[in-house]
Amino acid sequence: MNPVEEKNPETKPSNFIKDIIDEHLKSGRFKEVVTRFPPEPNGYLHIGHAKSICLNFGLAKDYNGSCNLRFDDTNPEKEEEEYVKSIKEDIKWLGFDWEDREFYASDYFEQLYEYAVKLIKKGKAYVDSSTMEEIRSMRGTLTEPGKENTFRNRTIEENLNLFERMRNGEFKDGEHVLRAKIDMSSPNFNMRDPVMYRIKHAHHHRTGDKWCIYPMYDWAHGQSDSIEGITHSICTLEFENHRPLYDWFIDELEIHHPQQIEFARLNLNYTVMSKRKLLQLVKEGYVTGWNDPRMMTISGLRRRGYTPESIRSLAERVGVAKRDNVIDVALLEHSIREDLNERAQRV
């Protein structure tokens, strides 16, 4: 099939996420729709992010709701203000506006810490003094359950004391971690006592040197969603196995419970969209920067001459799927040709 004919332009692709939202509104589970786009400020956005931006902001618009922009700034060693600025520029260029709803995971560091203390007091979290190598070796395999270590039996008082001392900077990087106490024999690896906090004496681009313990993504993500009143936390398929953990944290804390929904990320053939690999191309001088026209970053596509309308058109043509697939890059090229054909002045 010709890649540009995969979608009938007269027929909008199905959207299973809308079906879920419709049911939630009908049943009264949620009264409104609040989504979010939560990039990590450790690089420039690429064409894959554009699909998520269009989806989250688009759904909010369709339901007269709102979409937050939240920077997942929980890894201070890789994050920079330059990336924050570029992300905001790209979103606005695509035609979306978060208005006054700009947030940062670091806004919630104190609340996340208090939540962690609450889990410790419930006997649902503990300080583990194992090395990361030891933790990995005791997690088990796909066919073998993990093993509990002696630190798992620490008293609540001991855990509270150690966690406070971790925050106060009394320990070196990697000396301790805070883990959730769930089930080391769970068939889901993410439920085998995941790490919630690690010690990192690193300067944060917003909080400076105030914190030396930083929350892991799985811990910060769901609670940040809850704090902001998000109703539908929409993420890509690799987080499907993380959903039980997302739900477990929120249920144990007894706080507002968003619905996590996973969709297939945008994959284009013949393109590099890994942020890590794009960063390598920049650092090793293979390209002139993140906005090099050869890059599949949004700023690179903009510099190449792509219009925001053409990228939004691609996102709509691809639709929302539950199964990963690879889209022919010709569909992206068709989108820009079609847009320019409509707007180009002819003599």
CATH number of residue 142's parent domain? 3.90.800.10
Residue 70 falls within a domain, yes or no? no
Residue 232 falls within a domain, yes or no? no
Tokens of 212: 């030396």
Please tell me the least confidently modeled range out of 7-11, 38-42, 99-103, 203-207. Answer: 7-11
* Chain segment 49-79, per-residue pLDDT in tens: 999 999 999 999 999 999 999 999 999 999 9
The yes-or-no verdict on residue 6 having pLDDT over 60 is: no
Residue 79 falls within a domain, yes or no? no
- The whole-number pLDDT of residue 345 equals 81
Q: Please state whether beta strands 34-37 and 66-71 pair in parallel, antiparallel, or not at all (unpaired).
A: parallel
Mean pLDDT of 188-205: 97
CB 40 within 8 Å of CB 73: yes
CB 296 within 8 Å of CB 272: yes
Cα angle 98, 104, 107 (rounded to 5 degrees) comes to 130
- The whole-number pLDDT of residue 347 equals 74
* Chain segment 20-30, per-residue pLDDT in tens: 999 999 999 99
Q: Is 243 a catalytic residue?
A: no
Name residues whose C-beta falls within 8 Å of residue 16's C-beta, 6 or more positions apart in sequence.
320, 322
Residue 143 falls within a domain, yes or no? yes
The yes-or-no verdict on residue 12 having pLDDT over 50 is: yes
Which residue type, as a one-letter code, is found at position 72? D
Mean pLDDT of 316-339: 91
Residue 183 falls within a domain, yes or no? yes
Q: Please state whether beta strands 267-268 and 326-327 pair in parallel, antiparallel, or not at all (unpaired).
A: parallel
- The whole-number pLDDT of residue 7 equals 43
The yes-or-no verdict on residue 181 having pLDDT over 70 is: yes
The owner of tokens 């906090």 is 197
Tokens of 40: 């990590």
Among candidate residues 6, 40, 240, 252, the one labeled active-site is 40
Q: Is 101 a catalytic residue?
A: no
List Cα–Cα distances, 137 to 133, 147, 152, 192, 275, in angstroms. 6, 9, 15, 12, 28
Q: Where residue 14 falls among pLDDT bands split at 50, 70, 90?
A: low
Residue 246 falls within a domain, yes or no? no
- The whole-number pLDDT of residue 159 equals 99
Q: Please state whether beta strands 232-236 and 213-215 pair in parallel, antiparallel, or not at all (unpaired).
A: unpaired
Q: What percent of the chain has pLDDT over 90?
A: 89
The yes-or-no verdict on residue 5 having pLDDT over 70 is: no
**Strand segments (E) across 32-121:** 34-37, 66-71, 102-104
Q: Where residue 273 falls among pLDDT bands split at 50, 70, 90?
A: confident
Q: What domain range is 212 assigned to?
A: 109-217
- The whole-number pLDDT of residue 4 equals 42
3-class DSSP assignment, residue 237: helix
The yes-or-no verdict on residue 9 having pLDDT over 60 is: no
Among candidate residues 88, 265, 303, 304, the one labeled active-site is 265
3-class DSSP assignment, residue 70: strand
Mean pLDDT of 292-320: 95
Among candidate residues 275, 302, 312, 317, the one labeled active-site is 275
List Cα–Cα distances, 198 to 102, 213, 274, 302, 315, in angstroms. 26, 6, 25, 38, 37
Residue 149 falls within a domain, yes or no? yes
On average, the pLDDT of the chain sits at: 94
The yes-or-no verdict on residue 324 having pLDDT over 90 is: no
The yes-or-no verdict on residue 2 having pLDDT over 80 is: no
Mean pLDDT of 165-169: 98
List Cα–Cα distances, 263 to 33, 55, 56, in angstroms. 18, 10, 12
The yes-or-no verdict on residue 10 having pLDDT over 80 is: no
- The whole-number pLDDT of residue 13 equals 58
The candidate with the shortest Cα–Cα distance to 165, out of 236, 220, 123, 213, is: 213
* Chain segment 104-152, per-residue pLDDT in tens: 999 999 999 999 999 999 999 999 999 999 999 999 998 999 999 999 9
Tokens of 184: 């080391």
Residue 165 falls within a domain, yes or no? yes
Predicted TM-score (pTM) above 0.75: yes
Report how many domains make up the chain: 1
CB 259 within 8 Å of CB 232: yes
* Chain segment 215-266, per-residue pLDDT in tens: 999 999 999 999 999 999 999 999 999 999 999 999 999 999 999 999 999 9
Other beta carbons less than 10 A from residue 272's beta carbon: 14
